[in-house]
Amino acid sequence: MSLMSKLKAALAPSPRVDPKACIPRILGGKAVLVDVREPSEWAGGVAKDALLLPLSDLMGGRSRWKGALAGAGRRELILYCAAGGRAGRAARILELEGFRAVNAGGLGDWAAAGWEVVRPAE
pLDDT, tens digit (0-9, with 9 covering 90-100), for 10-55: 666 678 899 999 999 999 999 999 999 999 999 999 999 999 999 9
Residues in Cβ contact with 42 at an 8 Å cutoff, skipping those fewer than 6 apart: 35, 52, 120, 122
Measured on CA atoms in the order 98, 12, 16, 40, is the torsion positive or negative? Answer: positive
Query: pTM of the prediction?
Result: 0.89
Measured on CA atoms in the order 43, 45, 49, 52, is the torsion positive or negative? Answer: negative
**The predicted structure's pLDDT at residue 121:** 77
5 found inside a domain: no
Flag whether pLDDT at 78 surpasses 90.
yes
Give the structural domain span for 102.
Answer: 13-118
CATH number of the CATH domain containing 109:
3.40.250.10
Flag whether pLDDT at 80 surpasses 80.
yes
Taking only the tens place, the pLDDT of each residue in 52-61 is 999 999 999 9
3 found inside a domain: no
Give CA separation, 48 vs 8, 27, 104, in Å. 34, 12, 15
Question: For all residues of the chain together, what is the average pLDDT?
Answer: 91
Domain count, the chain: 1
Let me know: does 88 contact 13? Beta carbons within 8 Å. yes
β-pairing, 101-106 vs 51-52, is: unpaired
Q: Which of 3-7, 33-37, 117-121 has the lowest mean pLDDT?
A: 3-7
34 three-class SS: strand
